[in-house]
Amino acid sequence: MKLLEYEAKQLFAEEGIRVPTGILVSKHEEILLHMDELAGKVVVKAQVDVGGRGKAGGVLMADHDTVIEKARQLFNTTIKGVPVTRVLIEERLDIRHEYYVSIAIDRAKKQPVILFAETGGMDIEETAQKEKNAVRSVSFCPLLPDVPNFLLRELCGDSPAEIQKTVNRLYHVFCHKDALLAEINPLVTTPDGVYAADAKLIIDDNSLARQGIAINRDLSEREREAEKHGFSFVELAGTIGVIGNGAGLTMSTLDLIEFYGGRAADFLDVGGGADTERVMHAVRLVASVPSVRVIVVNLLGGITRCDEVARGIIAAGVAIPVIVRIAGTNAEEGRKLLSEKGYEMLDTMDHVVKKAVEVAG
Ligand code: GDP
Ligand code: MN
In a domain, 6, yes or no: no
- Is residue 130 located within the same domain as residue 71? no
Note whether 225 and 342 are same-domain residues.
Answer: yes
Task: List Cα–Cα distances, 356 to 138, 209, 324, 342, in angstroms.
Answer: 50, 39, 10, 16
pLDDT at 285: 98
92 Cβ closer than 6 Å to some ligand 1 atom: yes
- Predicted confidence band at 277 (pLDDT cuts at 50, 70, 90)? very high
pLDDT at res. 273: 84
Which of these, 94, 114, 96, lies nearest to 104 by C-alpha position? 114
Q: Which domain holds residue 72?
A: 21-91
Query: Do both 74 and 120 map to the same domain?
Result: no
The last residue of one of the domains, among 49, 73, 91, is: 91
Structure-derived torsion over alpha carbons of residues 214, 217, 220, 221, reported in degrees to the nearest 10:
40
Confirm whether 9 is domain-assigned.
Answer: no
pLDDT at 186 over 90: yes
Does one domain contain both 253 and 235?
A: yes
* Residues 180 and 194 reside in one and the same domain: yes
pLDDT one-digit tens code per residue, 18-37 = 999 999 999 999 999 999 99
CATH no. for residue 47? 3.30.1490.20
Q: Which residues contact 131 (CB under 8 A, 6 or more apart)?
A: none
Is ligand 1 within 6 A of the CB of residue 186? yes
245 CA from centroid of ligand 1 (Å): 47
pLDDT given for residue 220 in this prediction:
87
Is 90 within 8 Å of 45 (Cβ atoms)?
A: yes
| Judgement on whether residues 236 and 335 belong to the same structural domain of the protein | yes
| Residue 214 covered by a domain | no
CA atoms within 13 A of residue 28's CA, in its CB half-sphere:
16
Domain end (from 163, 179, 207) = 207
Residue 250 counted as domain residue: yes
Residue 145 has pLDDT above 90, yes or no: yes
Query: Are residues 297 and 200 located together in one domain of the fold?
Result: no
**256 and 199 belong to one structural domain:** no
* Residues 182 and 249 placed together within one structural domain of the fold: no
pLDDT at residue 280, rounded to an integer: 97
Task: Kindly state whether residues 334 and 244 are assigned to the same domain.
Answer: yes
Query: Does the residue 212 lie in any domain?
Result: no
Cβ partners under 8 Å of residue 292, min gap 6: 239, 240, 241, 265, 266, 286, 320
Our count of domains for the chain comes to 3
CATH assignment at residue 262 = 3.40.50.261
Q: Which of 207, 240, 269 is the last residue of a domain?
A: 207
Residues 323, 276, 252, CA angle at the centre, nearest 5°?
45
Q: In this predicted structure, what is the pLDDT of residue 282? A: 98
What's the 189 CA to ligand 2 centre distance in angstroms? 15
pLDDT of residue 274: 86
43 touches ligand 1 (CB under 6 Å): yes
Are residues 341 and 302 both part of a single domain? yes
Instruction: Write the DSSP symbol of residue 57.
Output: I
Pocket test for ligand 1, best of 18, 21, 95 (most atoms within 8 A of CB): 95
Q: Are 105 and 202 in contact (CB under 8 A)?
A: no
CATH code (residue 161): 3.30.470.20
Phi/psi at 13 (5° precision): -60, -35
User: CA dist 175 to 155, 163, 185, 248, 264, Å?
Assistant: 19, 19, 19, 32, 37
Cα 295 to ligand 2 centre (Å): 43
Same domain, residue pair 74 and 158? no
Phi, psi of 284 (to 5 degrees): -65, -40
List alpha helices for the chain, DSSP H.
5-14, 67-75, 124-130, 149-156, 161-176, 221-229, 247-259, 276-287, 306-316, 331-340, 349-360
Which residue is closest in CA terms to ligand 1's atom 14?
121
How many Å is the Cα radius of gyration of the chain? 26
* Atom 8 (ligand 1) nearest CA: 198
The rounded mean pLDDT for the chain is 96
Q: Is residue 104 part of a domain?
A: yes
Any domain includes 44: yes
Q: With respect to residue 230, please indicate whether it lies within any of the assigned structural domains.
A: yes
